[in-house]
Structure 1
Amino acid sequence: MNIQRTLLASAILSAYSFAFAQTAVVPQVVVTANPFGNSANDQILTPAKVLAGDELRDKAGSSLGETLSQELGVSASAFGAGASRPIIRGMEGARVKMLENGMAVSDVSGLSNDHAVAAEGATAQQIEILRGPAALLYGSGAIGGLVNVVNERIPTALEPKLTGQMEARGSTVDSGRNVSGTLDGAVDKLAWHIDGNLRNADDYNTPVGRLAHSDTRSRTGGIGGSYIDNWGFIGVSASRLSNVYGIPSAEGSKIDQKQNRFDIDSLVKSPFEGFESFKFKAGYTDYKHAEIGEDGAPEVLFKNHSLETRFELTHKPVAGWHGTFGVQTENTNFSALSAEGGPDTVPVTHSTSNAAFLVEETDFGPVKFNAGGRVERVKREPVTGVNRSFNLQSASVGGQWPFVHGYALGATFSYAQRAPSTEELYSAGPHDATVTFDIGNADFRKETSRNIEINVQKTTGLLRWKANVFRNKVSDFIYGHITGNLLDEEGNPGDELRERIFEQADATIQGAEAELEYNPTGAGWSGRVFADTSHGKLERGGSLPLQPATRVGISTAYKMGAWRAGLSLVHAQSQDRLASFETTDTPGYNQLNANVSYTQKAGDYDLTWFLLAKNLTNEEIRVSTSVLKDIAPLPGRNVVFGVRAKF
């Protein structure tokens, strides 16, 4: 990381911002995962990005990772079309918490890159990316940040009339078909919501040919209702996900994924004297997926049953301090058992987590200050193996100083601990989809992260910018080491599976980000320039595996009346910072995307006809964060066309 170069870039951005010092009105988008309900533009101590509206629809892909892959500091695992998980600042897997409406998704996507996130972006109202103090509310799994998919399945407001949105789109690269929709209404004080999504796609084309076993079939649906009055609301929801997708490896495996989910959400305004609100949430998830071999028979059965509860109490300002106290519990049963009578990948394991957290904010003169803390106890109890318990403490403090009108300097320090996951402790069997034989270590210590971030930004005018530098030292970092040994399904010497041993070592992840935006939400011309880089390395030598490439991107758009159009180009440098067991560099690439849309009135409907073009130059793109980078390039040139009706 070259800090001098970053500071020089910040100075150049400052000069440009003075040249374009104009007043701009930016719409306020509330970040629901923030305890204070701040807007996205107020996320000074918890760097956030909120995708919503036209921007979300333009970037929507077949997976959550694809949808977010060009956001600042975010890359994707890219395990074919069916499974792609967000990676934040080089942190992946269990270190990035996945939420749906503020509650854990409770799938097993953090275990391995071949497992899809069980949250659907096609019916989302917005998708939030958060780091910093607010992430402490959601557990030690948020050590690298969190992604919250907001679909408003449990309504929080009474709609004066029937509202909804329907969309149909097709894609040329995979003969894809996608239909999704939401519907909201109210009867007296009862509000209701319905949503659904249907997606079919064949194997996708790449510049070097069609990628076998990259097809997807996805079905999701949800229903919810709330009783809403002046005192607050209480609501329930139920949803079902069914997802079958191919694993683009030589084995030709498929994953058949299913999840049933039930949620309760409530809010009581002014519950006691001195308090603004009391929130209670509960969620039960019944998740399972089967890894199916080329012969059509299941090989490994993954199951996760989870019950989560949350209580949050927000107090009114006391001596200038405004904050939220809460308690969170989680009770899960997880297993990855052989369907063929061989060794189990992970034994049945019962885990419990009990935590309390506090997040506060105040002003010290012109300086805005935010602090949070969390204590948590995690227990893992396998049916075979050694029980483990972990006491975790996490804290974060930060401040922002507006040193000149419209400009601010901020700093955040966080200390966070993470308990080893069940698979990191107890794996001892084959994982056919990744062609590995996984071996955990029940003696692992907890991970401890110490992160410092410094940021400077321009917050007013048509031209706005921000620049961040960060350094994260992680003690006892856990990662999978491919040893080079080949084993059979029983763990004996063979030629079927690569031996992957989970290991623990100290690591450092550091990087920088910068972004400049001109008129991002107004009519007429707009533009964006961004760059991000990060590098994770082991203290004993060598890089962490699957490190993201350094990227630079530029985009321009024009919006006037019913027309909207845009063009973007992202350049990723070659990536040769490899772990000791990685063998191939990842070449650089350029990804050129475009979009155009036209909106017309049709009675009570707003009809938007849209055309999206992805990878216009049909470049062969292989991403360094994918374990399949040598096998599965990203899709080639793809034209997405469709219509969206909103009423």
Structure 2
Amino acid sequence: MKIYSLLLLLCSTSVWAQSAELTGTLTNNKNERISQAKVRIHESGQSAISDNEGQFRFADLPLGEYEIDIEISNSKHYNTVIDHTGDALVVNVDLLKLDDLVVSANPLEHSQLKMTTPVAILSEEDLVMDRGLSLDQTLNNISGVNSGSFGAGSGQIVIRGQQGPRVMVLTNNITNQDAASVSPDHWISSEPLLAKQIEVLKGPATLLYGGGAVGGLVNVIDETIPTQPIDGLNGGLEGRFSDSALGEQAGVLSLNYGFNDRVAGHFSYFDSQTDDYEIPGNAESEILHEAEGHDEDEEEEEEGMGLLENSSVNSSGVNVGLTVFNQQGYWGVSFSDFDRNYGIPGHEHGHEEEHDDHDDDHGDEHGDEHDEEEEEIVRIDLDKQVFNLKGLHRFANNNYFTQFRTHYSNTDYQHIELEGDEIGTVFDNQADEFRFELTHSQRAGFEGVWGLQWSNRDFSAIGEEAYILPSETRIWSLFLIEERDFDGWHGEFGFRYDDQTVDTALFNDITDSAFSVSLGATFDLNEHWTLPVNLSSAQRLPTAEEYFSNQSGIDELIPHLATSTIEIGNPDLVHETANNLDIGLRYRNEGFSFNLSVFYNQIDDYIFLRDTGLEEEETPIFEYVQQNSTFTGFETDLGYQFDDSWNNQWSFRLFADMTEAELNTGDNIPRIPAERYGVNINWLRGPWSVSLDHTHVARQNSIAEFELPTEGYDLLDLSLNWVHYSDQFETLVFIKGANLLDEEIRDHASFIKDIAPRPGRSISAGFRLTF
């Protein structure tokens, strides 16, 4: 009996140990072969490049199931599982699911399902339909993500109730160096029209990108620097137009060209403009109208009815990139130039004090001039130029280190706040950033990435609204992340150290350091259910704005007109620490999908603006202080996809999210979005598809002392799409109706929610031609 058992064991071991060559072909829906794509096997770290016929091969590989990584370009990067039986494989990349897309913001190249923290990805197809005029509007439909809109031209991205310096925005994994964190009326300088993929990491992402990401992270991916060789010419042309409600006209041209198998280039250009947009009623909310003590019977002023004045946008930009490839990787450079001119609705600058000081006998002529001055509109004229250098070197398969990535970015950013035809304030930001990542192969089951990051930011504001001292901020950082697959679960841990020095002419250098750690795991409960858990302690260093607002030493306090307050900084601030627990549940089976994420985030020494109760010339005075706080909430969605008996493809999605935030005194933290829930229905048959979205946002009554409540609303959108494939082109034509119920929509996270609602009902149409 023992001999028989031994023979069985030897036979089974022999079968398990069988090896064969793994061969495969990469193709797409057009039956085109995909060449020059990198294919990597996660378990062994082996890699191969597909040839001109789209074929890749690995020699002498044991039979079994493998997780492979397929990198075609920046935005077409997949992580999927294949079964190696010895037969040749055919992988149609167009059939890979959204779950298979790799999260580029994570250098360990995980798909969404393997991430221990919640991630949402908007693919290129999603973006064609969901692009907004700014990044916050583009992401507003993702659960857990809201908009802090500031008209059509700008707005803050809100992740789990956090915005401003706590939400970091990247472009191709490098930090956006603009002035968006300084003020909510400053544009987040990533253009949605150029994006090929957008990733949102919800919850602390400080390990990879620093202390500013304690709330979350957004990574915008484009093709400015090609990362894979290109065969010939490909690209796309896109146009968008809307009715008079928005008056949008936008166009995008994107070209990629492979000069040969070693050199590839990119060119893209966009131009977008809108008129002042239409609104359902009055620009001023009824809640604000009543709070100001107006009589209900008082006639409504016609001014501000039906149109949000000074909300138009004019934007354009160009990207040029060039990459040289070699057997070990590539080196690429790019240059980008963005221009944007947009209005700040509801923020006219006046000079009432100067007029009051004049004698009354100056006459009506001067009075008329004063009235004109009071009505001067405020616009922002922005220019941003960025130079990028990016490189990747792959080491030999048997090396401990598998690849080395480097990225350098130089940003020249300036925007001018125009008061009528006069220059009011000039904001200038000059920044450099280096980033290095070294990835190693498995040792004792662990693989990981080590990194170094350095940045220097020289910021200044000169003019009437220069309430922040000019400053220079230098940060250097070290980070490490290690991971390992165990039997039935995946674990990872990491840490990051940041050292920051802020230098001004009036204060001694302020130096502070931050240390962040994270421990996460994804448990495979069975073949359908996974349980991700992440525990992190993330520290955020104060910004120059929080230190030095109105700290110039002069007697006059300068108001921040975007927030209608006087903000006083505090040079004694210390770093804040966010202790976050994130627990999720994911299900995938036969068309069903379910995602749930529950978070508890306790922030020690939370930095916020506290109302002092004082005023200067009727402008309330706020000061930066620190206090412990707690953020809690959840995001969930349930989806189902199926094909009926009449060749129709259906998909349904239900979703909900909620965030609550309080100080340890029990007071509410301001501008926290209300809970919302909704449904999405998609129908597809042949070249036609229809999408219906309905979102209900509740009334927000959990407010800070100085806030007003915000009414809830129902948002209904409907889109119709037609797609045509030919040998050379793919054509998409769409028409979309937004806010079909013509609801008055005010974002509670917005500083100007009570004087600037979002657009009313609008109809837009467009096309995309790719080749």
Structure-2-length-normalised TM-score: 0.77
Task: Letter of the 2:110 partner, please give it.
Answer: N
1:585 to 690, 701, 709: 709
2-side partners of 1:87 and 1:536: how far apart?
Answer: 13
Q: CA contact under 8 A between 1:130 and 1:147: conserved in structure 2?
A: yes
CA deviations on 1:504-546 (whole Å, 9 max, x unpaired) are 2111000011111222999700111100000111112211110
2-side partners of 1:520 and 1:57: how far apart?
Answer: 24
Pairing 1:41-190 to 2, within 5 Å after superposition: 41-43=113-115, 45-131=116-202, 135-172=206-243, 173-188=245-260, 189-190=262-263
State the 1:444 CA deviation: 0.7
Verify: 1:317 aligned to 2:439, yes or no. no
Q: CA contact under 8 A between 2:594 and 2:638: conserved in structure 1?
A: yes
Verify: 1:238 aligned to 2:311, yes or no. no
CA distance change for structure 1 residues 513 and 217 in 2, over 3 Å: closer, same or farther?
Answer: same
2:513 corresponds to: 391
CA distance change for structure 1 residues 513 and 255 in 2, over 3 Å: closer, same or farther?
Answer: same
Pairing 1:550-569 to 2, within 5 Å after superposition: 550-569=675-694
State the 1:75 CA deviation: 0.4
Q: After the TM superposition, which of the residue ranges 316-325 and 266-275 deviates more from structure 2?
A: 266-275
Q: CA contact under 8 A between 1:158 and 1:191: conserved in structure 2?
A: yes
Q: CA contact under 8 A between 1:34 and 1:134: conserved in structure 2?
A: no
Verify: 1:331 aligned to 2:453, yes or no. no
Q: CA contact under 8 A between 1:291 and 1:433: conserved in structure 2?
A: no
State the 1:192 CA deviation: 0.4
CA deviations on 1:327-374 (whole Å, 9 max, x unpaired) are 000011011222x5xx73111111100100001111232121111110
Q: CA contact under 8 A between 1:143 and 1:449: conserved in structure 2?
A: yes
1:207 corresponds to: 280
1-side partners of 2:654 and 2:436: how far apart?
Answer: 41
Verify: 1:474 aligned to 2:603, yes or no. yes
CA deviations on 1:461-513 (whole Å, 9 max, x unpaired) are 310101111110001111223445443xxxxxx24x44232222111000011
Q: SS state of the match for residue 324, structure 2?
A: strand
1-side partners of 2:534 and 2:744: how far apart?
Answer: 39
2:15 corresponds to: none
Verify: 1:198 aligned to 2:327, yes or no. no
1:622 to 746, 751, 759: 746
Q: SS state of the match for residue 301, structure 1?
A: strand
1-side partners of 2:411 and 2:629: how far apart?
Answer: 34
Pairing 1:508-547 to 2, within 5 Å after superposition: 508-519=630-641, 524-547=649-672
Q: SS state of the match for residue 542, structure 2?
A: coil
2-side partners of 1:133 and 1:229: how far apart?
Answer: 36
Structure-1-length-normalised TM-score: 0.92
Q: CA contact under 8 A between 2:459 and 2:470: conserved in structure 1?
A: yes
Q: CA contact under 8 A between 1:520 and 1:527: conserved in structure 2?
A: no
Q: SS state of the match for residue 589, structure 2?
A: coil
1-side partners of 2:382 and 2:181: how far apart?
Answer: 15
2:50 corresponds to: none
Q: Which has the larger radius of gyration?
A: 2
Verify: 1:280 aligned to 2:280, yes or no. no
Verify: 1:599 aligned to 2:599, yes or no. no
State the 1:308 CA deviation: 0.3
2:562 to 413, 417, 433: 433
2-side partners of 1:462 and 1:344: how far apart?
Answer: 55
Q: SS state of the match for residue 237, structure 2?
A: strand
Task: Letter of the 2:112 partner, please give it.
Answer: A
Pairing 1:256-267 to 2, within 5 Å after superposition: 256-267=381-392
2-side partners of 1:25 and 1:63: how far apart?
Answer: 29
Q: CA contact under 8 A between 1:133 and 1:372: conserved in structure 2?
A: no
Q: SS state of the match for residue 137, structure 2?
A: helix
State the 1:432 CA deviation: 2.9
Q: CA contact under 8 A between 1:133 and 1:359: conserved in structure 2?
A: no
Q: CA contact under 8 A between 2:204 and 2:214: conserved in structure 1?
A: no
1-side partners of 2:386 and 2:736: how far apart?
Answer: 33
CA deviations on 1:282-332 (whole Å, 9 max, x unpaired) are 001111112222x32122211111100011000001101110000000011
CA distance change for structure 1 residues 62 and 598 in 2, over 3 Å: closer, same or farther?
Answer: same
Task: Letter of the 2:273 partner, please give it.
Answer: N
Q: CA contact under 8 A between 2:117 and 2:533: conserved in structure 1?
A: no
Q: CA contact under 8 A between 1:457 and 1:466: conserved in structure 2?
A: yes
Q: Share of identical aligned residues, percent?
A: 34
1:222 corresponds to: 319
1-side partners of 2:111 and 2:432: how far apart?
Answer: 30
2-side partners of 1:301 and 1:75: how far apart?
Answer: 29
CA deviations on 1:546-581 (whole Å, 9 max, x unpaired) are 001101010100112211110010001110111122
Q: SS state of the match for residue 616, structure 1?
A: coil
Q: CA contact under 8 A between 1:505 and 1:538: conserved in structure 2?
A: yes
Q: SS state of the match for residue 420, structure 1?
A: coil
State the 1:31 CA deviation: 1.6
- When the two structures are aligned, how many residues end up with a matched partner? 611
CA deviations on 1:15-37 (whole Å, 9 max, x unpaired) are xxxxxxxxx96252222111111
Q: CA contact under 8 A between 2:224 and 2:266: conserved in structure 1?
A: yes
Task: Letter of the 2:653 partner, please give it.
Answer: R
2-side partners of 1:406 and 1:142: how far apart?
Answer: 31
Q: SS state of the match for residue 423, structure 1?
A: helix
Q: CA contact under 8 A between 1:300 and 1:431: conserved in structure 2?
A: no
Task: Letter of the 2:459 partner, please give it.
Answer: F
State the 1:414 CA deviation: 0.6
2-side partners of 1:303 and 1:410: how far apart?
Answer: 42
Verify: 1:353 aligned to 2:475, yes or no. yes
CA deviations on 1:84-140 (whole Å, 9 max, x unpaired) are 221110111101100000000111111221111011111111001114676411111
CA distance change for structure 1 residues 135 and 443 in 2, over 3 Å: closer, same or farther?
Answer: closer
Q: CA contact under 8 A between 1:511 and 1:534: conserved in structure 2?
A: yes
**Deviation beyond 6 Å, 4+ runs, structure 1:** 520-523
RMSD: 1.8
CA distance change for structure 1 residues 535 and 626 in 2, over 3 Å: closer, same or farther?
Answer: same
Q: CA contact under 8 A between 1:96 and 1:141: conserved in structure 2?
A: yes
Q: CA contact under 8 A between 1:50 and 1:127: conserved in structure 2?
A: yes
Q: Which runs of 5+ in 2 are unaligned?
A: 1-94, 282-305, 349-376, 551-557
CA distance change for structure 1 residues 133 and 451 in 2, over 3 Å: closer, same or farther?
Answer: closer
Task: Letter of the 1:640 partner, please give it.
Answer: S
